Amino acid sequence: MQDPRIAQLARQLVRYSTSIKKGEKVMLHLFDVPEELGISLVREIRAKKAIPVVKLENGRIGRELAKGATDDQYALIAKHQLSEMKDMDAYIAIRGSHNICETSDVPAAKMKTIMSRMRKVMDHRVKKTKWCVLRWPHPAMAQQAGMSTEAFEDFYFDVCLADYKSMLPAMNALKRLMEKTDQVHIVGKGTDLTFSIKDIPAIVCGGNYNIPDGEVFTAPVKNSVEGVITHNAPTIYQGIPFDNIRLEFEKGKIVKAESPGMNKELNRILNADPGARYVGEFALGFHPGIKEPMRDILFDEKIAGSFHFTPGQAYEDADNGNRSQVHWDMVTIQRKDYGGGEIYFDGKLIRKDGLFLPKSLAKLNY
């Protein structure tokens, strides 16, 4: 018997997150997920009299392709995938993974080739289609979260099926506040950071692009970042795990980067191109049901009482001009149980120990 929550999730993705309309062409990009989910999505899309197109991928096969990647190979792959994407009105990707570190032994040069060639496909998808991306709860994810498989599945559906619409008034209030702000000052354990967000749009994320959702993001003025930041949430990038990343900034640029036992790997990623040492996103996360990190960025960047700071590519709808093949969301949790911290907007304390202080933002508190 199919879990009824699968049909609920498919309905939310099709009818709310991407608002599929009659006649639209919808790419379903399914990566190591159960057949039941794909079937539910196809049925929902057809119920809206839209056209489903399905693309299936497998993690181990993808790794094998990547290990022998050549520029000619990925130029060809990107050419066909871009042509395919240009035919789509919407894109829904659900990414399972039996092993989140599957690509950790793919040579760095191969990953750089892939990311460089596939950038045009991703850019078109982000800029030109309605899109939504989420993970699927495999036992490997439950293990990362330190939970039983059943408990993690319950957690997953609870946070993915949250009532995002009810959060929108407070999220819009935060957007307005951020768009009025010039100087941001963040302090906490191992962190004393200042930067400007003046004249850069703030974007509300209320269940439309990433699931689970729950953040408002903008970007720092590219050369304005000064000081030091320590990220206390573990992270994984290009299949490689990192802990306690510490970054020092001067005139917007990362001039020193450290992670215990992983300095070489960290700096290799930040040396991928000139933009990788500048920051393309600043976001406040506040999903009330997500409390602990699990090395999965679609969950971790929404942690209640967190913020993330992102070396690399800026989004064009909140653009500071930074361009890079890297986009690495690094998360700091400021709740009391993680050491606390404060965020000031133009000298006024906005959030303390992960809790918003203005009454208009109170509904975003966990």
Chain segment 299-358, per-residue pLDDT in tens: 999 999 999 999 999 998 999 999 999 999 999 999 999 999 999 999 999 999 999 999
* Longest Cα–Cα distance in the chain: 58
**Do 238 and 325 touch, CB atoms closer than 8 A?**
no
Closest-CA residue to 302 (of 162, 166, 185, 99):
162
What CA–CA distance (Å, rounded) separates 41 from 273? Answer: 38
Output the average pLDDT for the chain.
94
- Find how far residue 205's CA is from the centre of its chain: 11
**Residue 156's pLDDT band (cuts 50, 70, 90):** very high
Cβ neighbourhood burial of 135 (10 Å; 0-12, 13-18, 19+)? buried
Q: Does residue 97 have a pLDDT over 90? A: no
Count, in order, helices (H) and strands (E) of the chain.
Answer: 10, 20
Share of the chain above pLDDT 70, in %: 100
β-bridge pairing 355-356 and 25-31: unpaired
For residue 148 the two structure tokens come to: 């039983």
267: alpha, beta or left? (left if phi > 0; alpha if psi -120 to 50): alpha
The pLDDT tens digits of the residues spanning 24-34 come to 999 999 998 99
Select 4-160's CATH number: 3.30.930.10, 3.55.50.30, 3.30.499.10, 3.40.1830.10.
Answer: 3.40.1830.10
184 vs 1, more confident: 184
Q: What is the mean pLDDT of residues 13-23?
A: 96
pLDDT score for 103:
85
- Answer with the residue of higher pLDDT: 54 or 123: 54
pLDDT of residue 100: 73
Mean pLDDT of 171-190: 98
Give yes or no for residue 99 having a pLDDT over 80. no
Least confident of 45-54, 100-109, 219-228: 100-109
**Domain residue ranges in the chain:** 4-160, 164-364
Per-residue pLDDT for 140 more than 90? Answer: no
User: What confidence tier does 278 reach under pLDDT thresholds 50, 70, 90?
Assistant: very high
Instruction: Name residue, tokens 């049901």.
Output: 289
pLDDT of residue 113: 93
Residue 257 CB-half CA count within 13 A? 20
For the record, the structure tokens of 199 come out as: 């004249």
pLDDT(108) > 90: no
More confident residue, 330 or 209: 330
Strands (E), the chain: 25-31, 51-57, 90-95, 130-135, 183-188, 191-196, 203-205, 210-211, 215-218, 226-231, 235-237, 240-242, 245-250, 253-258, 279-285, 306-311, 330-333, 341-345, 348-352, 355-356
Mean pLDDT, range 124-143, rounded to an integer = 89
Token pair belonging to 352: 């303390």
Residue 365: φ, ψ to 5°: -80, 145
pLDDT over 70 at 1, yes or no: no
Structure tokens at 164: 């995002």
User: pLDDT at position 166, please?
Assistant: 92
